[in-house]
Structure 1
C-alpha cells in the first residue's frame, strides 16, 4: 500500500473524486496500461493525458491497478470486480456505475 500514490486528473480531491465524478462513492482510481498512471475516470485521462487510453490488459489483472481513494490500498482487477463495489481493505463503498465503463478501464473479451 502506498500512502500517496499519485492520481492525475481534473480537480482531483484527496479521496480521488474528480470534476467528472464526485459523489460520496466516487473514491476509486484506475491505472491505465498506456502510461502506468492512476486516473479517477476515463474522462480525466482524455483531458490530461497526451495519448490514447489503453485499458489494463487481462494478462496483468493480478497486478495492482485499482486504488481506493479512502485508504489508498492498491489491488488487482479480480479483487475489484469480485468486491461488490467495496474496497477489499477498508470496505469503503465504490460507485456501482463504474461498471458501465469497465471496458474503458479493463481489457474485455469482445
Structure 2
C-alpha cells in the first residue's frame, strides 16, 4: 500500500496523512523511515515486513547524511544525524516525535544501538 504524505510516497498498512499506521497511531507517531534495502519510506518495521517482498535492512551508516527520516508534520526530510540530534522534535516545525522509537534504532539505522529515552 502506498500513500502520499507531503508529496513523498510512504508504504505501509493504513498509513495516514502524518505517517501514522496500523501499528503505531499515537499522537507522536509522525515519522517515516527509509530502509537501506529498498530506499522506500515506511512508518515502521512492521509495515515494511507487511508490504515489502524482501527482508528489512537498516539505513546504511555511510549514508547518514542523506535524507532518511520524513516528518509527518511538515514533510521535512531529515538526515539520520539531524533526526538523532533533534531531541524528539522536528527541527523544522517542532512537531513532537515519539521518544519510544529510540528503543528500535538498530532496526532503522545501521550501527546505532537502541536506547531507553
Instruction: Bin the TM-score by the shorter chain.
Output: over 0.9
Aligned length: 109
| TM-score, structure 1 as length reference | 0.95
The structure richer in strand per residue is: 2
> 2:58 touches 2:110 (CA, 8 Å); kept in 1?
yes
Q: Please name the residue that 1:71 is paired with.
A: 74
How do residues 3-82 of structure 1 correspond to structure 2 at under 5 angstroms? 3-82=6-85
* RCO higher in structure (CA 8 A, sep ≥6): 1
| Per-residue deviation, residues 38-81 of structure 1 (Å, max 9, x unmatched) | 00000000001000001001100000000000100101001100
Find runs of 4+ consecutive structure 1 residues off by over 2 angstroms. Answer: none
* Root-mean-square deviation over aligned CA pairs: 1.3
Gaps of 5+ in 2: none
1:83 matched to 2:59? The reply is no
Superposition TM-score, scaled by structure 2 size? 0.90
Superposition deviation, residue 109 in structure 1: 5.9
Unaligned runs of 5+ in 1: none
